[in-house]
């Protein structure tokens, strides 16, 4: 029994027909973790005892109509709050946060669908990073080649799915943190429209950009998980009161007449030839399937990285003010005054990149600099959003690479923050515009590392994004490839 063998739909049928027990599935998940996670390092905390008890209980009964993820093993990014299950955000500041008091709304929804939480997944500390090297714990490695990074910040989520440790995972995406690791690890990752999924219980990084989304091996599985976690939530005043369509209904395989826009900025400087070729091949495939594509321009793309780092860091500096060593987390013991206690706890608790961003954000919001940096960036954000609005008025979707290069090597970019930030140039604009974007596998580099195709849609038009992604997936075999970890070759 391997989690690589079946889709969500197939497993639900097999459980229903008593061909597979939930306990066998959960067992397969922990068995696989034992085999490969010593190399991959995707998990920070396991939920084994609880998961096995849940599985035994589910095996005693039938799924109801609403329990659409009945008994399926899931991994959860460690910045999503799980009641009673350690939640660290991969930060030593929260190393002792073993007993969170409530469930994030997405966790309640997964629980209602009877999904089983296998454990909590590694990430860049507080979701700040593109390589997982900013984890306070051992950094996750890319299952396709463990000398390479899995991407970030949801690197643990992407790697766990790619290496068959869980069937699906939840990640969060502020500037590409679902799509970039999905591309690097050869899986499907969707950042929903801002407001599509409740952020209640997602430890906030940049509240105007953060979204939770699913990472899966196939587009259909991805649509099924999004159907479960989407929807308005009174606990998140920025979640949208917009009906959740049945995304799986959009997976018709038909893209005849689909209008695709390809921004010239997304195939320009910095994008390697291999990546560009893979995208052009993918576009050719879409032509064969009856879709049409045209080159367009998103003229403000080159300003997205600077805009993002000012805005996201500013929001982070405010959001991370709550970590003060008073109510939870690790407190610096030696402090004698209250102020020293704040400062020492924060300085010892936060890692280098987190502190750098808090500093940048505090600076951009400080008296005398607010207009020049924060407000300026908010205005440029408007221009970037308008670029997308204009193109998406005429086209159904926008396509391009998810990342300029395949997964880079561990240690290659960590020394220079700006080099690392530039890696997110193709994913960041999507968060700034608030539109949905997916990454799906569309090829491999000569080194055997996955390449991702990014598909971007209109606000709340995840259905169209899924339709386009699914049609390509059905016409190609990239999603069927598996990494050779632990001697299990595809």
Partner 1 sequence: MAEISKDQVKHVANLARLAVTEEEAEKLTEELGSIIKFAEQLNELDTENVKPTTHVLDLKNVLRKDEPKEWLTQEEALKNAPDKKDGQFRVPSILE
Q: How far from the centroid of its chain's Cα atoms is residue 485's Cα?
A: 22
Taking CB under 8 A as the criterion, the residue among 30, 70, 97, 286 binding partner 1 is 97
Residue 463 in 3-state DSSP? helix
Query: Rounded to an integer, what distance in angstroms lies between the CA atom of residue 338 and that of residue 324?
Result: 10
Is residue 177 part of the annotated active site? The answer reads yes
* Bond before 153 cis per omega within 30 degrees: yes
Taking CB under 8 A as the criterion, the residue among 108, 109, 381, 467 binding partner 1 is 381
370 binds partner 1 (CB under 8 A): no
Q: Which of 29, 130, 131, 153 is catalytic?
A: 153
269 binds partner 1 (CB under 8 A): no
458 binds partner 1 (CB under 8 A): no
Taking CB under 8 A as the criterion, the residue among 324, 405, 475, 486 binding partner 1 is 324
Query: Rounded to an integer, what distance in angstroms lies between the CA atom of residue 2 and that of residue 25?
Result: 8
Taking CB under 8 A as the criterion, the residue among 9, 14, 285, 385 binding partner 1 is 385
Is residue 237 part of the annotated active site? The answer reads no
Nearer to partner 1, 335 or 475 (CB): 335
Which neighbouring-strand residues pair with 76? 120, 170
Taking CB under 8 A as the criterion, the residue among 337, 446, 477, 489 binding partner 1 is 337
What does DSSP say about strands 188-191 and 437-444: parallel, antiparallel, or unpaired? antiparallel
Query: Rounded to an integer, what distance in angstroms lies between the CA atom of residue 412 and that of residue 131?
Result: 10
437 binds partner 1 (CB under 8 A): no
Shortest separation between residue 80's beta carbon and partner 1, angstroms = 17
Residues 6 or more apart whose CB falls under 8 angstroms from that of 343 comprise 335
326 binds partner 1 (CB under 8 A): yes
Size of the site for partner 1 (CB under 8 A): 70
Residue 399 in 3-state DSSP? strand
Segment near partner 1 (CB under 8 A); pick from 38-46, 198-206, 289-297, 316-324:
316-324
82 binds partner 1 (CB under 8 A): no
> Cβ(427)–Cβ(179) under 8 Å?
yes
303 binds partner 1 (CB under 8 A): yes
Query: Rounded to an integer, what distance in angstroms lies between the CA atom of residue 117 and that of residue 47?
Result: 7
Segment near partner 1 (CB under 8 A); pick from 34-42, 50-58, 330-338, 404-412:
330-338
Query: Rounded to an integer, what distance in angstroms lies between the CA atom of residue 261 and that of residue 456?
Result: 10
Query: Rounded to an integer, what distance in angstroms lies between the CA atom of residue 476 and that of residue 285?
Result: 9
- DSSP 8-class letter at 320: G
Taking CB under 8 A as the criterion, the residue among 290, 382, 447, 484 binding partner 1 is 382
Residue 173 in 3-state DSSP? strand
Shortest separation between residue 219's beta carbon and partner 1, angstroms = 25
Query: Rounded to an integer, what distance in angstroms lies between the CA atom of residue 484 and that of residue 206?
Result: 36
- Could you list the active site residues? 77, 153, 177
Using CB under 8 A as the criterion, which residues of the chain lie in contact with partner 1 when the complex forms? Answer: 96-101, 194-195, 208, 234, 237-238, 240, 300, 302-303, 305-307, 309-310, 317, 321, 324-331, 335-344, 346-347, 350, 355-356, 358-360, 362-363, 366, 372-373, 375-383, 385, 417-418, 432-434, 459
């Amino acid at each position: 029994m391997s989690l690589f063998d079946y889709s969500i739909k197939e497993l639900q049928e097999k459980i229903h027909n008593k061909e597979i027990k939930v306990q066998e599935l959960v067992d397969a998940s922990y068995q696989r973790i034992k085999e490969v996670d010593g190399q991959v390092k995707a998990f920070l905390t396991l939920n084994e005892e609880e998961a096995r008890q849940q599985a035994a209980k589910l095996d005693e009964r039938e799924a109801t109509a609403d329990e659409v993820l009945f008994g399926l093993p899931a991994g959860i990014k460690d910045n999503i709050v799980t009641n009673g299950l350690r939640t660290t955000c991969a930060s030593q500041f929260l190393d002792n946060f073993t007993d969170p008091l409530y469930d994030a709304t997405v966790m309640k929804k997964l629980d209602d669908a009877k999904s089983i939480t296998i454990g909590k997944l590694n990430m860049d500390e507080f979701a700040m990073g593109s390589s997982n090297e900013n984890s306070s714990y051992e950094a996750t490695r890319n299952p396709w080649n463990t000398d390479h990074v899995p991407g970030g910040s949801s690197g643990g989520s992407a790697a766990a799915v790619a290496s068959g440790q869980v069937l699906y995972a939840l990640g969060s995406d502020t500037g590409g943190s679902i799509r970039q690791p999905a591309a690097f690890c050869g899986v499907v990752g969707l950042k929903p429209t801002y407001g599509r999924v409740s952020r209640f219980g997602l430890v906030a990084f940049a509240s105007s950009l953060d979204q939770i989304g699913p990472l899966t091996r196939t587009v259909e599985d991805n649509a099924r998980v999004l159907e479960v976690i989407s929807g308005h939530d009174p606990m998140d005043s920025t979640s949208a009161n917009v009906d959740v369509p049945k995304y799986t209904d959009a997976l018709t395989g038909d893209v005849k007449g689909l209008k695709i826009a390809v921004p010239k900025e997304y195939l320009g400087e910095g994008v390697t030839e291999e990546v560009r070729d893979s995208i052009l091949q993918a576009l050719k495939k879409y032509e064969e399937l009856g879709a049409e594509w045209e080159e367009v321009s998103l003229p403000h793309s080159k300003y997205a990285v600077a805009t993002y780092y000012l805005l996201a860091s500013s929001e982070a500096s405010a959001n991370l003010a709550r970590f003060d060593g008073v109510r939870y987390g690790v407190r610096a013991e030696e402090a004698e005054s209250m102020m020293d206690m704040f400062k020492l706890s924060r300085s010892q608790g936060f890692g280098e990149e987190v502190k750098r961003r808090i500093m940048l954000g505090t600076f951009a919001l400080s008296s005398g600099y607010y207009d020049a940096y924060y407000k300026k960036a908010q205005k440029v954000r408007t221009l970037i959003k308008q670029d997308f609005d204009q193109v998406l008025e005429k086209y159904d979707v926008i396509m391009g690479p998810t990342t300029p290069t395949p997964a880079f090597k561990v240690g290659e970019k960590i020394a220079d923050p700006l080099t690392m930030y530039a890696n997110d140039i193709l994913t960041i604009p999507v968060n700034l515009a608030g539109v949905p974007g997916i990454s799906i596998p569309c090829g491999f580099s000569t080194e055997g590392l996955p390449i991702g195709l990014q598909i971007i849609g209109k606000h709340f038009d995840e259905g169209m994004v899924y339709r386009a992604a699914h049609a390509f997936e059905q016409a190609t075999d990239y999603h069927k490839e598996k990494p050779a970890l632990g001697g299990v070759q595809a």
